[in-house]
A and B are shown apart, each in its own frame.
Chain A
Amino acid sequence: DGGITQSPKYLFRKEGQNVTLSCEQNLNHDAMYWYRQDPGQGLRLIYYSQIVNDFQKGDIAEGYSVSREKKESFPLTVTSAQKNPTAFYLCASRESRGITDTQYFGPGTRLTVL
Chain B
Amino acid sequence: GQNIDQPTEMTATEGAIVQINCTYQTSGFNGLFWYQQHAGEAPTFLSYNVLDGLEEKGRFSSFLSRSKGYSYLLLKELQMKDSASYLCAAQGQKDDKIIFGKGTRLHILP
Contact = CB atoms under 8 A, between A and B. Distances in A.
B83 to A, nearest CB: 15
A105 interface: yes
Q: Is the interface of A mostly helix, strand, loop or mixed?
A: strand
B91 A101 contact: yes
Given A42-B100, A48-B97, A56-B97, A100 B48 contact: yes
Given A42-B87, A43-B87, A102 B45 contact: yes
- Chain B contact-residue range equals 20 to 34
Contacts of B44: 105
A85 interface: no
Given A43-B43, A107-B42, 16 more contacts: A41-B102, A41-B103, A42-B87, A42-B100, A43-B87, A48-B96, A50-B96, A58-B97, A90-B42, A96-B96, A102-B48, A103-B89, A103-B98, A104-B45, A105-B44, A106-B42
Interface of B: 31, 33, 35, 41-45, 48, 50-51, 87, 89, 91, 95-103
